Structure 1
């Protein structure tokens, strides 16, 4: 089951008018819309009156006074998007970004599959919709405790994902990026990818479970490089922790190393690839390079 920090590609076919964000009006219609999208099925249900959220969170979710779904233009493109509280094997919070005639893009806001409780509240910062989101993890005894809350997120939709709001991003003048993934208990692709920002050269080394093993090179479009470096700047990469870990075993590890024009280097090791919503989005953008190049 995908984590919240990733996005899920929907089928390439269009949606019937009654299953579009603009037209759904009831819990059952929202349910039908979500069930029509991959990877969902008939097991998905809208959390009527936030019953599951209250039960999981001990009657204290951020959204206790808001409905089970909310329409809002999260990416400021003039089309209504959808925030949905539901249950799909566990309580989940979803963001559906309107793609017009095509199926919406799905984002799992609930970041980890082990979350005991997920709380999300919609607020407005001027004209900018903001989601206040936090999650509670089970401690070593499997019980809730005040110490098990993950750091809260203040999310806006930018760079194709919900990321933490930064009112004043800086240009850190990134010159080089090196990304390395390990294997996992499965077929996770293990590879290295180095990007030179000035030349836009990408150097790839496939290690295991990649389309191409060994070395390959490519020159990337300017937009690809700009999108990645702008997101890293927006994420305030130098201020992030040096290491992140999910509370389970047999997952993949990513190591991202950034070199700056002043010679400084920042490296982050992320076991589970869910350190922050911004990091998860960067990893997905780098993985999209590998896939698009046939590596």
Structure 2
């Protein structure tokens, strides 16, 4: 018998697509992850939030591009991309954390997680598959939405700045993957969806607002070496996101980003830091799910 998920669920809280033990028992690990990811993608894509996210990022990018190019001129894409990054550092983490906070705890409350765990797949495969499914939806929404802004930038100022804009889009999607992983980790550890949502909001406040405020306070009160500034940047994925894009631009901004620019962080180091942030939350989540009480 060909191995496949049998039926399409009508809602996230309704039926769980089932696979027989014999079917999954012969499927390699990576194929099981892909099937779980496809299942999660199909469930998530039915929700209206995917369309809403696409519209949100399209409006965001077109608005910034429109105002930016009209103010600085069509040849100054660097300033426009810098503005997108400084605003995106608030929007991208918030969108990702909101998308992922109920990934595990919501499935547990609905009963579908226990049903998946009865199948011959590991808990790590379930968590990773669910993460990939939601990342596909989130990344697709961001790619389409921000792509609309890229089209607007091309129409207004030509193709001269598309490379910079493309870098912004790629790093933005990768950063969304980081915060989606953080939200999946929080969803794994939470007992209820309300707890997961509260933890996601606290994470957003820390990474986007409080971390830099604390860092600025330390810098203002003490003479920190460059190594301390490097650690501050690398321990915050929002700062890694900001610096990775701004390092490729001819313009810069003020605030903590200007301070961190003195730390001489190399692009390869920032890329490695972003990759570590992509992997670490999901790895911890796959370990944490094994210690959750039934």
| TM-score, shorter chain, exceeding 0.5 | no
1 or 2, which has the higher helix percentage? 2
TM-score by length of 1: 0.24
Tell which has more relative contact order, 1 or 2 (C-alpha 8 A, sep 6+).
2
Higher strand share: 1
TM-score by length of 2: 0.24
